[in-house]
Amino acid sequence: MKTGNKGTMSFLLPKPNGEFLNLGIMGGTFDPIHMGHLVTAEVARQHFNLDHVVFIPAGNPPHKDKNLINSADHRYLMTLLAVVDNPFFTVSRLEIETKQSSFTIDTVRRFFEIYDYNKLKLYFITGADAILDITTWKDYKELLELCSFIAASRPGYSFRKLKVIFGPAFPEIIKRVHLLEIPAMAISSTFIRRRVAQGKTIKYLTPEPVEQYIHKNRLYLR
């Protein structure tokens, strides 16, 4: 563990005796966070023996229209409410406190600035839809060198065409990507936003405190 100001990383506690840290990070817009995100992270945590999973809400997601997403603070607070009962989960403000667009490579580099490279193994947790786009991510080749990926199955997205989609880059990519079958969760934030706008129940699609937060703050009404 390096010394110095850890700033937004202060939630990351060094393991005693400088032991090796197996860390999962899950990026997303989380507008709002839902059971699909939580089940994915929890199954990945156990399967890959992760010490911790850090949820990192995107500040200014490069792929999404910033006029259409909720404020970073709402998304951060909902994510915090959702993970508070899991001792292995935390939320980071790293990306929401960054003024520029949030690119995964910058976040991952930041982890390695703070942690000793030889004492940290990073797994970036995504759903199947996100992994299909990986070649469009900034500096994706360096990203694949710095961390492994866990791609969770997601209804509507198939891993079967990965070879075709990645083309010549397939062998390089696939050796850094672990495909993980999770209990099918046909839930998306889009689905939840739409249901709220239509006055339909979202109970059990997201943790109850998040559901209450959404109603209390009148989010997603139109």
Residues forming contacts to ligand ATP in the complex (CB under 6 A) are 28-31, 36-37, 40, 126-127, 129-130, 152, 154, 185, 187-190
**What radius of gyration, in Å, describes the C-alpha atoms of the chain?**
17
Residue 1 or 179: which CB sits closer to ligand ATP?
179
**What are residue 133's DSSP bridge partners?**
none
Least separation in angstroms between CB 52 and ligand ATP: 17
Phi/psi of residue 151, nearest 5 degrees: -110, 115
Least separation in angstroms between CB 213 and ligand ATP: 16
SS3 of 192, please? helix
Least separation in angstroms between CB 142 and ligand ATP: 19
* Per-residue tokens: 114: 């703070």
User: Number of H helices and number of E strands within the chain?
Assistant: 9, 6
Residue 37 or 93: which CB sits closer to ligand ATP?
37
Residue 21 or 126: which CB sits closer to ligand ATP?
126
Alpha carbons 153 and 179: distance in angstroms, whole number:
7
Least separation in angstroms between CB 37 and ligand ATP: 5
